[in-house]
Chains A and B, each alone.
Chain A
């Protein structure tokens, strides 16, 4: 390769980025880091595998067989009024009188510290006083409780604190084996994190219990709603609080990581949902069509210029930009609650029978399964967006009916599509726009299933 090209590329890249200056990111980074810590702070407690010796030690630490009120009061300096209230107020909830259950919650709390995801932060190293169950009640998933206790938090190489000293720790108990309480999440105050704490209390992720720490969540949303007109939004429902806690049964099909609580000044997810779907920035667990290694897929729609179905775009790389450009105006007004988009590695491009430009690709919105989206744009007309599911495990995973009788977009990498049109046999590889009314379309000789 000629040195001239390399020199020119070097100069071109520098010229292109010469005016790119980063804003001061330090504040945003710290706030973002606090959110990341929140994920871990309110983390799922691993299933405890305790040795007999550990169990014996834990039992020895909690010798009481019946519940007794906390042995400390409101005299701890540095706590918020809400946290002081949590430490001192009587246990709320319908199981407040079940002293055996409350004692079992305390016992489970004491035993859970070693297996907590927060254990290596040192937050349990200097516990103060005794635990206090602030709320206990029945839920659709079984009995649940919230327990709090003071701890003397100290600087640690793995923890971010507002200050050293006494602070409130909390734990959420859900139904464990044989209905015994099991601590499913715990937490501590993190700078910049919202004072709304909530956790899924059962393994099936069907019920959220929220704790009021002074900034009461007013609404809950269980996820994005996809409408037929391709709009995507969140529906917010009021949260009903009772005795300082809220029990929130999730609708069937809820994606745990999508649940959000909205409170004054912001919203937050439920910390122990499944945590970040992209652990540590990795997105390798997400499914996508036609992972193509180094190459973007390219599936030009149609091959017959006489039918005006040949790609009007120069190549698939251009299609990517057209696709994103057509959808760019769609996000703000139609997908206001979508936080993340995952964009396609493949694109189909061409022209519809009525002369509109067609570009299609995959999109993943937040953590929902990818869908195929097609953008149709005609001269002087607004872009029309249509979408449908992808059929990842099927022979023809992309099958999208276009509007206004413009046919059916199909795509399957490496397959040859064949159909008869006006008595003429047609074929296309990788992707095709099958005319409306065609009933004999096949992919590698196999009939394409209806949607």
Chain B
């Protein structure tokens, strides 16, 4: 990695690490340590081949990140675990927005990795279906069906109700 490339890579890491890590945390089921490993691993591979990456680095990074996260085995370097989520929601009004969002995320983290990745890329990263398909190496049709199934599961598992009806304190 030459000087100019080095600067470009450093700029990319500094500018995009947080966004990649946020995506990775969800892809990794809420495991922050695993997510950091994923992001670092992706960036290491990008560093080695920085001058030979075709297209926007972010696209490459997201594809590599998704690939690593949804692979068959979920590997991770051993490090202390962070809690997946707030463990105890007892005592809180289940009708609050916070609790319902919490339930949605909890439900999301129980989804199969690929299905979860579809929803994360669609609704956290706001990628169009075509880009999600490229990142996952599947068809747009698969993205559509996985999105639909994933949302259905989220509704079932979170007991989702329309939050817009809860903000005023009524359901």
Contacts and interface: CB of A to CB of B under 8 A. Distances in A.
Interface of A: 1-2, 4-17, 20-26, 28-30, 32-33, 36-37, 155, 157, 160, 278, 280-284, 286, 288, 291, 294-296, 315, 317-318, 320-321, 324, 328, 331-332, 335, 338-343, 345, 364
The bracket for how many chain B residues form the interface is: 35 or more
B160 to A, nearest CB: 6
Contacts, number: 162
Contacts of B80: 332
A361 to B, nearest CB: 11
B152 interface: yes
Given A24-B17, A288-B72, 19 more contacts: A1-B151, A1-B155, A4-B162, A9-B108, A10-B126, A11-B101, A12-B100, A13-B120, A13-B123, A15-B101, A17-B22, A25-B40, A25-B43, A26-B14, A29-B13, A33-B48, A36-B44, A284-B72, A286-B72
B127 interface: no
B84 A284 contact: no
B170 interface: no
Contact of B20 (A22, A294, A335): A22
A23 B20 CA distance: 12
Interface in B12-29: 13-14, 17-18, 20-23, 25-26
A17 B105 CA distance: 10
A214 to B, nearest CB: 26
6 contacts: A4-B164, A32-B44, A281-B68, A284-B71, A295-B112, A341-B78
Contact of A12 (B75, B105, B162): B105
Given A5-B160, A20-B22, A25-B39, A33 B44 contact: yes
A26 B101 contact: no
A32 B162 CA distance: 46
B60 to A, nearest CB: 12
A335 B71 contact: no
Contact of B73 (A24, A315, A320, A364): A364
B101 A341 contact: no
Contact of A9 (B51, B78, B119, B152): B119
Interface in B46-85: 47-48, 51, 64, 67-68, 71-78, 80-81, 84
B132 interface: no
A213 to B, nearest CB: 23
A215 to B, nearest CB: 23
Nearest to A10: B123
A41 to B, nearest CB: 11
B13 A8 contact: no
B123 A281 contact: no
A22 B41 CA distance: 14
B26 A17 contact: yes
A93 to B, nearest CB: 35
